[in-house]
Chains A and B, each alone.
Chain A
Amino acid sequence: MTAREAVARAHREEWARVVAALTRRFGDLDIAEEAAAEAFATAVERWPADGVPPNPGAWLTTTAQRKAIDRLRRESRREAKQQEAAMRQDAPPEPVGAVEDERLRLVFVCGHPALAADARVALTLRMVGGLTVAEIARAFLVQESTMARRITRAKTKIKAARIPYRVPDAADLPGRVSGVLAVLYLVFNEGYLATGPDADPVRQDLTAEAIRLARLLRALLPQDGEVAGLLALMLLTEARRTARVSPDGGLVALDEQDRTTWDAQLIAEGHRLVRERLDSGEAPGRYQLLAAVNAVHTSARDFRDTDWSQVVALYDQLVRLDRSPVVALNRAIALAELDGPAVALASVDRLAEPLDGYHALHAARAELLRRLDRTAESRAAYDRAIELAGNAAETAALTRRRDQLR
């Protein structure tokens, strides 16, 4: 491994740990972030000449702590802050395993419900994921200065309103975990179906980051069913990534995907998690049900082989948990394979009002109308779907399907 690779690897593995350790010591996310970035910059300079240190994480943390103290000296806020830091350092050492908890604290601060939803996503990617502000800005198609302001504003609020740097109490934990999972799911979905005409249809950096953070959360909260569920859902979705985009950049629907290109390893891992949750006997939450749906799809040799009654049954459970019309739409799409397009179309049409602005509703109608040989209506529905779709690959796929109508 070259020094450059070692830095890249340390960045993936140690960034959150370094930021978390510094946040705990200095009680300030801003100082922690800046010092961590400086420590990695120093590693880029020094490791090629001096060699990679035997414990990169410890080297980076120590270096970052020095950088932070330097900054505090420079800003001559020495007394208050340094005293505070010294006091924190004098606190009794945390038991082994507390290092893991530190990253978890970071996740909970960044996903705090008092922060704006878009700021939570951005802050999590910066502080826990270690993405640069420029990378996050690109992922969400906003100006770098806009993203920088968003992140700064969130950090300022954390400090001024004193959002605590800790893992919530057991009583509050389930509610807060669900907020953090929602952040990770947003990151993943933005990667899996990136918006904007110029964006890559699939942003693998974002999906990979979301999976990495979900794995971290899973390691920290191994008993939480929804954490396992979300990780499984992401793995089973990610497994189909390469099959999902055709060489010409169009999105490939599930029934047309080349299943031999699916990632067997990710599927096996996802299936293990789904089985583990089934064996627990606990009532599944939303992510576990969605993961189970994806487990059914990824168990089928081909589209026809899919156990559609099982898929519809899982969506029935999901509808009971989540009354959103989007869930009902997905149920209706599965129903088409079980009870035929006419039955499904009746279900879809009942959702026309709440989902009129949602491209997937019109795409689903178009498909069902095509199967019912109602060509003119199908074409109109495709037109509407194309008009509303935000993802380049999706637009291409819809256009292709429309142009295949006779």
Chain B
Amino acid sequence: MQYLLNVIHDSAEFATEEEQAAIAVFNQQMKADGYWVFAGGLGVTDNATVVDNRGEEPLVTDGPFVESKEYVVGFWIVEAPDLDVALKLAIEGSKACHRKVEVRPFL
């Protein structure tokens, strides 16, 4: 079963060097343990563009789909047998990147 681990933060500041080093160690460990699927960091929501093609013409608008104080600044996708394992990874990940992490199961 796959889980999305959303990294939540309230500023666009990049991870510090220590945080980056801790994230690298965590990523290595996840790969070694077979949990790793994919991960990425995201740019600021200022650079987001929303596309809506549900109508007749595609609508392209500047900005994120919802304005909020906190937003997703990165994510991991992990393969885990159950939520307890995914939560354990999220707990380690949150420590490594020093940010909140939201765990969401894939359908």
CA distance A397 to B4 in the complex (A): 53
Chain B nearest Cβ from A304, distance in angstroms: 51
Chain A nearest Cβ from B17, distance in angstroms: 31
A159-177 interface (Cβ within 8 A of B): 160-164, 168, 172
A137-187 interface (Cβ within 8 A of B): 160-164, 168, 172
CA distance A69 to B81 in the complex (A): 26
Chain A nearest Cβ from B53, distance in angstroms: 29
CA distance A163 to B83 in the complex (A): 5
Q: A162-B1, A163-B82 are in contact. Are A114 and B87 (CB under 8 A)?
A: yes
User: Chain A contact residues (Cβ within 8 angstroms of B): what range?
Assistant: under 10
Q: Is the CB of B87 within 8 A of A164?
A: no
**Chain B residues positioned under 8 Å from A163 (CB to CB):** 82-84
CA distance A375 to B12 in the complex (A): 59
**Chain B residues positioned under 8 Å from A114 (CB to CB):** 83, 87, 103
CA distance A112 to B82 in the complex (A): 13
B87's nearest neighbour on chain A, judged by CB, is: A114
Q: Is the CB of A162 within 8 A of B82?
A: yes
Chain B 77-94 interface 0/1 with A at a Cβ cutoff of 8 Å (1 = within): 000011110010000000
Q: Is the CB of B105 within 8 A of A168?
A: no
Q: Is the CB of A168 within 8 A of B84?
A: yes
Q: B105 is contacted by which of A112, A160, A164, A172 (Cβ under 8 Å)?
A: A160
Q: Is the CB of A161 within 8 A of B84?
A: no
Chain B nearest Cβ from A380, distance in angstroms: 41
Chain B nearest Cβ from A164, distance in angstroms: 4
**Chain A residues positioned under 8 Å from B81 (CB to CB):** 162, 164
Q: Is the CB of B87 within 8 A of A162?
A: no
Chain A 99-115 interface 0/1 with B at a Cβ cutoff of 8 Å (1 = within): 00000000000001010
A112's nearest neighbour on chain B, judged by CB, is: B83
**Chain A residues positioned under 8 Å from B82 (CB to CB):** 162-164
Chain B nearest Cβ from A177, distance in angstroms: 15
Q: Tell me which of B1, B87, B107 has the highest count of chain A C-beta atoms within 10 A of its own C-beta.
A: B87
**Chain B residues positioned under 8 Å from A168 (CB to CB):** 84
CA distance A287 to B6 in the complex (A): 37
**Chain A residues positioned under 8 Å from B83 (CB to CB):** 112, 114, 161-164
A114's nearest neighbour on chain B, judged by CB, is: B83
**Chain B residues positioned under 8 Å from A162 (CB to CB):** 1, 81-83, 105
Q: Tell me which of A112, A114, A160, A161 has the highest count of chain B C-beta atoms within 10 A of its own C-beta.
A: A161
CA distance A114 to B103 in the complex (A): 10
Chain A nearest Cβ from B95, distance in angstroms: 16
CA distance A162 to B1 in the complex (A): 8
Chain A nearest Cβ from B107, distance in angstroms: 8
CA distance A171 to B107 in the complex (A): 30
**Chain A residues positioned under 8 Å from B103 (CB to CB):** 114, 161
B88's nearest neighbour on chain A, judged by CB, is: A172
Chain B nearest Cβ from A286, distance in angstroms: 24
**Chain A residues positioned under 8 Å from B87 (CB to CB):** 114
A159's nearest neighbour on chain B, judged by CB, is: B105
CA distance A112 to B87 in the complex (A): 12
A108's nearest neighbour on chain B, judged by CB, is: B84
**Chain B residues positioned under 8 Å from A164 (CB to CB):** 81-84
CA distance A160 to B103 in the complex (A): 12
CA distance A217 to B87 in the complex (A): 25
B84's nearest neighbour on chain A, judged by CB, is: A164
**Chain B residues positioned under 8 Å from A172 (CB to CB):** 84
CA distance A18 to B105 in the complex (A): 29
Chain A nearest Cβ from B91, distance in angstroms: 11
CA distance A112 to B103 in the complex (A): 15
B85's nearest neighbour on chain A, judged by CB, is: A164
A residues neighboring B (CB under 8 Å): 112, 114, 160-164, 168, 172
Which 10 pairs of residues, A with B, have the shortest CB-CB distance? A164-B82, A161-B105, A162-B82, A161-B83, A163-B83, A164-B84, A162-B83, A162-B1, A160-B105, A114-B83
Write 6 A-B pairs (CB below 8 A) sorted by A numbering: A114-B87, A114-B103, A162-B1, A162-B83, A163-B83, A164-B81
Instruction: Given contacts A163-B82, A163-B83, A164-B81, list 20 more A-B pairs with CB under 8 A.
Output: A112-B83, A114-B83, A114-B87, A114-B103, A160-B105, A160-B107, A161-B83, A161-B103, A161-B105, A162-B1, A162-B81, A162-B82, A162-B83, A162-B105, A163-B84, A164-B82, A164-B83, A164-B84, A168-B84, A172-B84
